[in-house]
């Protein structure tokens, strides 16, 4: 299940870009040039029927930028969101899968979109996952249960909680949820 191994010192985590190329660009600036691995918890290109069209909504440009990131040596892992369709997988170079499972610097990481959070929680706890990542709610949160940290980076485009647009950064120190302007919102040490 955890076949992919990543040793990058820093990983960027985001969710719910909903077609906003502007949000992707802001997240990459937040992550910095040393981030070469991005975990995307889904709802990549389409805004969905229940959401307003986000600022910077240019899905074709977002496709180009995500694909370029990969061609320039970066990696993007995408967990399929409820707004992601088969056509999205046809235009994006990174594979869209129902879950992402990898080992990062010795820690087990599991990512699903979060529209079935009880399943993510059960699988994460059963497999002693260190970080379980979800999106979907558009609300950033860091919650520890037993040894597992449940991370929702919030939404880069359409936040629904009290926090503004956000993304997360994982380092050896811990996990930080940050506004896209660089303000720390939440932090959890390993």
What CATH number is attached to the domain comprising 161? 3.60.21.10
pLDDT higher at 46 or 51: 46
* CA–CA dist 159, 86 (Å, integer): 25
**What is the span of the domain harbouring residue 70?**
4-189
**φ, ψ of residue 141 in degrees (nearest 5):** -160, 150
Residue 131: both structure tokens together: 């970080």
Whole-prediction pTM value? 0.97
Whether the CB-CB separation of 186 and 142 falls below 8 Å is answered with: yes
* CA–CA dist 150, 132 (Å, integer): 5
Handedness of CA 79, 80, 81, 84 (dihedral sign): positive
Share of the chain above pLDDT 90, in %: 93
Please state which of the ranges 29-43, 48-62, 74-88, 149-163 shows the lowest mean pLDDT. Answer: 48-62
Residue labelled with tokens 């990542």: 133
Q: How many domains does the chain have?
A: 1
């Amino acid at each position: 299940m955890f076949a992919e191994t990543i040793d990058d010192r820093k990983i960027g985590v985001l969710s719910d870009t909903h077609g906003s190329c502007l949000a992707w660009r802001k997240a990459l600036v937040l992550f910095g040039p040393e981030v070469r691995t991005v975990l995307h918890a889904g709802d990549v290109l389409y805004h969905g029927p229940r959401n307003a069209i986000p600022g910077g909504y240019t899905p074709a440009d977002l496709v180009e930028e995500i694909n370029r990131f990969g061609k320039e040596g970066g990696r993007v892992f995408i967990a399929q969101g409820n707004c992601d369709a088969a056509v999205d997988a046809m235009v994006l170079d990174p594979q869209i899968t129902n879950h992402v499972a990898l080992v990062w610097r010795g820690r087990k990481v599991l990512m699903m979109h979060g529209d079935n959070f009880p399943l993510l929680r059960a699988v994460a706890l059963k497999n002693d996952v260190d970080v379980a990542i979800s999106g979907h709610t558009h609300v950033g949160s860091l919650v520890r249960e037993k040894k597992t940290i449940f991370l929702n980076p919030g939404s880069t485009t359409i936040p629904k909680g009290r926090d503004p647009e956000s993304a997360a950064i994982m380092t050896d120190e811990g996990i930080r949820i940050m506004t896209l302007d660089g303000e720390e919102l939440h932090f959890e040490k390993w």
